[in-house]
């Protein structure tokens, strides 16, 4: 029993802290999504080049931001879990992965829906799109490796190794893809950088970005809590079997 | 160092005596490359245009075929445990395995590449660069592959997972490898691309044995 | 009524804008729903185990009390 208590000491504190944060994060998400959507759909003006399609940016860019930051967050918590054997760190990387995968998927889909009216095609092998797609595969690989180990502590370590190798490789992949693209079709994405960001567009964008961030926090708390309780469930079942 | 070479020699001898690994990867490579003219059409200018990419992708996939056996056989018959108990550092042991994999299943592909390149109508300037790029870049395939092989060792259907884990990480090698050949065909300087490929190889040489050894420790505990 | 159609038309780009908002909403709502459902299921599974442990502890302490 003593080992048990020690193991749960930290997760218990985590659960206590998040129980305080959770309602605020959920409320903030709803509030910001409401304001952000109102600004995005009604207040913000049409872009003089892109017309109304610029409104896709308000769901596209925050998703792309989150997809990158969630991966970095996973890499950091995997490193913490591997080095200090912090019990919550591994679980938090695991809990974050599906959220990151969802954001990456959304960035890809909304990006191609934006691409069709702007570039005349749903998909171009543009550097950003390609590296986003690769990031999506990295998320899938990470989630797959968690599924394929029976022993969760081994799965945690294997997944941590994978996510760290990926984190070292992501800048290399990004660089190579940028470089590959500029070699093949220079300046095809000029429309992407064309319009200067005006405050009437930047404000809703930042609101939506913050809304996505707090949505991440909300879902993240739910998922980490589920992971912690799941581990507790496994241990209690083991204890019951032993008796 | 002696133990490194004896392990390397053992693995190569095993592969030579079994023989199937050589012929399997080679014939896979040849068949996969042959499928492209059949799919794209026999027009020589198109084949010449896509030949660097086809050969690189073919080599990449052929290399994947044998990756899951890198540690699997030793894991199943228990010699992996023995090797890990020995005095040799695990990282060196992993490096010996990686070298053996490269020598037995990647190097033969490089030897046959000129013939396939000719059949795809690759310009003469490109063939030399293709060989050099493969020699400098393909170690990355075995090195990164070792991480995937170590993480999936002991899994029943590790092969599919292995390709999901490893293929995204192969992208830089593919891009720079193809770029080197295309630069050679366009009579542009090839040096920078080859330097980048060597840089990737050296970086992978430092990092991958560490990660693969960590993965193996997991599998064997 | 015209303003509503104009709004939904989004200057001819409605066919791209509304699906992108729609899919974002669907994916994110599903993410929240699945996460919550998983949490609730685990919590429900935990309840009998927790009670079991409590009763066992009480049994143990009453036994110990009886022994001393």
Average pLDDT of the segment spanning B99-127: 87
CA–CA distance, B157 with B178 (Å, rounded to integer): 31
Indicate whether B153 pLDDT > 80: yes
Indicate whether A186 pLDDT > 60: no
The complex scores an ipTM of: 0.81
Which among C35, C50, C56 has the least Cβ separation from residue A226?
Answer: C35
Sole residue written with tokens 């080049």:
A49
In percent, how much of chain A has pLDDT > 90?
A: 10
Q: What pLDDT, on a 0 to 100 scale, did the predictor assign at position A68?
A: 86
Residue B153: domain span? 2-220
Q: What pLDDT, on a 0 to 100 scale, did the predictor assign at position A125?
A: 74
Q: What pLDDT, on a 0 to 100 scale, did the predictor assign at position A49?
A: 62
pLDDT digits (tens, 9 = 90+) for C5-52: 666 666 666 677 788 888 888 988 999 999 999 999 988 888 887 787
Which among A141, A154, A183 has the least Cβ separation from residue B165?
Answer: A141
CB contact under 8 A, A166 and B179: no
Measured between alpha carbons, how far apart are the two ends of chain A, in Å?
13
CB contact under 8 A, A229 and C12: no
CA–CA distance, B72 with B68 (Å, rounded to integer): 6
**Residues pairing with A51 in the sheet:** A47
Residue A105 banded pLDDT, cuts 50, 70, 90: very high
Residue A3 banded pLDDT, cuts 50, 70, 90: very low
Q: Is B200 within 8 Å of A146 (Cβ atoms)?
A: no
Q: Is B50 on the interface with A (CB under 8 A)?
A: no
Q: How far apart are the CA of A155 and the nearest CA of chain B, in angstroms?
A: 9
Indicate whether B161 pLDDT > 50: yes
Q: How big, in percent rounded to 5, are the helix, strand and coil portions of chain A?
A: 85, 0, 10
Q: What pLDDT, on a 0 to 100 scale, did the predictor assign at position A195?
A: 47
Indicate whether A6 pLDDT > 70: no
Average pLDDT of the segment spanning A21-42: 85
CB contact under 8 A, B164 and A180: no
pLDDT digits (tens, 9 = 90+) for A198-218: 667 778 888 888 999 999 999
- Provide the domain count of chain B: 1
- Determine which of C22, C24, C42 to mutate to test the interface with A (most A C-beta atoms within 10 Å): C24
Q: What pLDDT, on a 0 to 100 scale, did the predictor assign at position A189?
A: 40
- Name residues 31-50 of chain C within 8 A of A (Cβ): 31-32, 35-36, 38-39, 42-43, 45-46, 49-50
Average pLDDT of the segment spanning A18-42: 85
Average pLDDT of the residues of chain A: 79
Least confident of A154-158, B76-80, C44-48: B76-80
Indicate whether A99 pLDDT > 90: yes
């Amino acid at each position: 029993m003593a080992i048990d208590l020690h193991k749960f000491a930290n997760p218990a504190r985590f659960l206590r802290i998040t129980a305080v944060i959770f309602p605020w994060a959920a409320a903030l998400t709803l509030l910001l999504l409401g304001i952000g959507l109102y600004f995005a759909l009604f207040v913000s003006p049409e872009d003089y080049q892109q017309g109304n399609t610029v409104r896709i940016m308000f769901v596209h860019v925050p998703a792309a931001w989150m997809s990158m930051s969630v991966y970095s967050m996973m890499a950091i918590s995997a490193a913490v879990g591997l080095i200090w054997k912090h019990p919550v760190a591994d679980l938090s990387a695991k809990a974050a992965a599906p959220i990151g995968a969802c954001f990456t998927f959304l960035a890809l889909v909304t990006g191609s829906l934006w691409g069709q009216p702007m570039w005349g095609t749903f998909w171009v092998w543009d550097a950003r799109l390609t590296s986003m797609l690769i990031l999506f595969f990295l998320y899938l690989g990470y989630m797959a490796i968690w599924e394929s180990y029976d022993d969760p502590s081994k799965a945690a370590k294997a997944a941590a190794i994978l996510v760290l190798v990926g984190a070292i490789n992501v800048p290399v992949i990004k660089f190579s893809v940028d470089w590959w693209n500029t070699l093949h079709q220079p300046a095809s994405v000029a429309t992407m950088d064309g319009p200067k960001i005006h405050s009437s567009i930047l404000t809703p964008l930042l609101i939506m970005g913050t809304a996505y961030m707090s949505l991440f926090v909300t879902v993240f708390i739910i998922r980490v809590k589920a992971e912690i309780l799941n581990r507790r469930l496994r241990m209690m079942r083991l204890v019951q079997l032993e008796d | 160092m002696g133990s490194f070479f004896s392990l390397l020699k053992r693995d190569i001898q095993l592969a030579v005596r079994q023989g199937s690994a050589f012929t399997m990867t080679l014939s896979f490579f040849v068949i996969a490359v042959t499928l492209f003219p059949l799919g794209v059409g026999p027009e020589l200018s198109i084949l010449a245009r896509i030949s660097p990419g086809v050969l690189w992708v073919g080599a990449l996939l052929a290399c994947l075929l044998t990756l899951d056996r890198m540690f699997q056989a030793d894991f199943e018959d228990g010699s992996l445990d023995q090797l890990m108990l020995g005095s040799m550092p695990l990282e060196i042991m992993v490096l010996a395995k990686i070298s053996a994999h490269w020598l037995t299943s990647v190097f033969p592909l490089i030897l046959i590449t000129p013939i396939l390149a000719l059949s795809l109508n690759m310009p003469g300037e490109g063939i030399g660069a293709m060989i050099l790029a493969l020699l400098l870049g393909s170690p990355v395939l075995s090195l990164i592959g070792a991480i995937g092989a170590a993480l999936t060792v002991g899994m029943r259907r590790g092969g599919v997972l292995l390709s999901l884990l490893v293929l995204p990480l192969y992208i830089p090698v593919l891009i720079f490898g193809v770029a080197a050949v295309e630069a050679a065909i366009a009579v542009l300087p090839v040096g920078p691309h080859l330097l980048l490929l060597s840089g990737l190889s050296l970086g992978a040489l430092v990092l991958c044995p560490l990660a693969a050894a960590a993965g193996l420790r997991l599998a064997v505990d | 009524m015209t303003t509503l159609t104009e709004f939904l038309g989004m200057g001819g780009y409605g066919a791209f804008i509304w699906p992108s908002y729609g899919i974002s909403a669907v994916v994110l709502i599903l993410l929240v729903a699945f996460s919550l459902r998983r949490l609730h299921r685990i919590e429900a599974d935990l309840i009998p185990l927790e009670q079991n442990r409590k009763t066992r502890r009480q049994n143990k302490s009453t036994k110990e009390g009886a022994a001393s």
